[in-house]
Structure 1
Amino acid sequence: MTTDTREDRRRLFDHLQSASTQGQFFARVAEDVDWTVQGTHPLAGRYRSKREFTEHTFARLAGVLREGAELVVEHLYVDGDTTIAELRATSTTNEGAAFANLYCWVCRFDGDLIVEVRAYLDSMMVAYTVLRNELAAPG
């Protein structure tokens, strides 16, 4: 692993800080990514494409978080084709509560593309936030 690889991955994951830059992150995710979100909450599941993953997770969170999912890198570990990103959400729910979730994404790269992810998070916080804010949504 070179310093260039570590810096490249750091810059990549830094794009998750804002909805306005997340497209740059997802541009480096394979269309046929195998993304598993662990847990027993509304966003949990195994997604077999970038479209399926983003529709069921980031798009759903955008409906219950004021600015969508905003993630800051806490720690990044790079070894060969594997990068482990520990992330912290800095989002606010539609109700005005902090959504201070913690994430751990174990990502496998093929060249410059993320092809596989196993994501771990606080299931209870996600369930509470999604269900409470979706129920409170007008409509």
Structure 2
Amino acid sequence: MPPPSAAQISRLFAPLAIQGRQHETLALLADDVDWTICGHAPPMSRRYTSRQEFLDNTLKVLRERVLTEPLRLEVRNIVVSSTASGGGDEGKDEEIDGDVVVELEALDATCKNGLPYDMRYCWVCKFAHGKIVQVRAYLDTDLLTRALQQNP
């Protein structure tokens, strides 16, 4: 089976940009997703071993403590590994397997103290049977650290 197309992956991640629909993309995370935020931005830069642990310690913290409104992310670029499968005209989302890299940009995000949260993310995702089972997230850890420290 051919690899998934960038358009197919973009469609899966597009709800992250729409207020109230982010859960559609987050539902792709396996319950036991292995998610690592790389870099040095304590307490967020670390390894998470479940979907709930990741959500509770990252997006929930940003939403409740740091940002003026829930984070919205827009897809800027997608790279699909040539060894990935589950795509093409016949492919179904639940059949996606392999590695996908998604670059995302925060949309109109502002911290409660007024600091612009103009974050860009690079998520290196591993899919298995249509679920995201592993992510290595790269981001501006300096901006994240400042946002966390200035919005306690």
Q: Structure 2 length normalisation: TM-score? A: 0.82
1:73 aligned to 67, 75, 79, which one? 75
Q: Distance in 2 between matches of 1:18 and 1:59?
A: 17
Could you tell me how far 1:87 is from its partner in structure 2?
1.0
What's the counterpart of residue 110 of structure 1? Answer: 128
Could you tell me how far 1:5 is from its partner in structure 2?
4.2
What's the counterpart of residue 64 of structure 1? Answer: 66
Unaligned runs of 5+ in 1: 135-139
What's the counterpart of residue 31 of structure 2? Answer: 31
Spell out structure 1 runs of 4+ moving beyond 4 A: none
Q: Distance in 2 between matches of 1:45 and 1:18?
A: 27
Does the CA contact (< 8 Å) of 1:18 and 1:70 recur in 2? yes
Does the CA contact (< 8 Å) of 2:123 and 2:135 recur in 1? yes
Tell me the amino acid that sits aligned with residue 59 of structure 2.
F
Q: Distance in 2 between matches of 1:44 and 1:12?
A: 25
**Which residues in structure 2 correspond to 1:1-139 (within 5 Å)?**
1-2=2-3, 5-42=5-42, 43-62=44-63, 63-79=65-81, 80=84, 81-90=98-107, 91-134=109-152
Q: Distance in 2 between matches of 1:11 and 1:66?
A: 26
Q: Tell me the matched-pair count.
A: 133
Question: What RMSD, in angstroms, separates the aligned Cα atoms of the two structures?
Answer: 1.4
Could you tell me how far 1:116 is from its partner in structure 2?
0.3
Higher Cα Rg, which structure: 2
CA deviation profile, 1:39-95 (whole Å, cap 9, x unmatched) = 111311100000000111101111211112221111011121111011111211112
Structure number with higher relative contact order (C-alpha < 8 Å, ≥ 6 residues apart): 2
The answer to which structure has the higher strand fraction is 1
| Identical aligned residues as a percent | 35
Unaligned runs of 5+ in 2: 85-97
Instruction: Report the 3-state secondary structure (helix = DSSP H, G, I; strand = E; otherwise coil) of the residue aligned with 2:151.
Output: helix
Could you tell me how far 1:18 is from its partner in structure 2?
3.6
Could you tell me how far 1:6 is from its partner in structure 2?
2.9
